[in-house]
Amino acid sequence: MSKVIVTFEKNWRGYAANETAGFDAAVAESLIESGYAIQAGKPGAKNGKNGTGHTAPAAKKTDADTAAGGADKSEAHAGAEGKP
């Protein structure tokens, strides 16, 4: 019987997140469906079946952005003493 290679997304038994291992098809499928692993080597596998994936954090506002767009929220709501 052939093995299905998976990469773990979460710790499972003796396996840590980001480890890769091979399992029988039934075990691999249950790991994938339960969200513990993804099938290794599949393009777009990170998105999983539910369409959720890892997203990059939002960009931080820089001094150049503030100069171009005016004051940020904390400054816009500040009182006379500069306190929000």
Nearest to 35 by CA among 24, 46, 20: 46
Asked if residue 6 belongs to a domain, the reply is: yes
Which structural domain, as residue segments, surrounds residue 22?
1-49
Residue with the bigger pLDDT between 74 and 18: it is 18
User: How many independent structural domains does the chain possess?
Assistant: 1
Write the CB contacts of 79 (distance below 8 Å, at least 6 apart in sequence).
none
Q: Is the pTM of this model over 0.75?
A: no
Q: List, for residues 30-44, the tens digit of each pLDDT value.
A: 999 999 999 998 765
Residue 59 is classified by DSSP as P
CA geometry: angle 2, 36, 26, nearest 5 deg = 30
Residue 84: inside a domain:
no
Closest of 1, 38, 33, 3 to residue 17, by C-alpha:
38
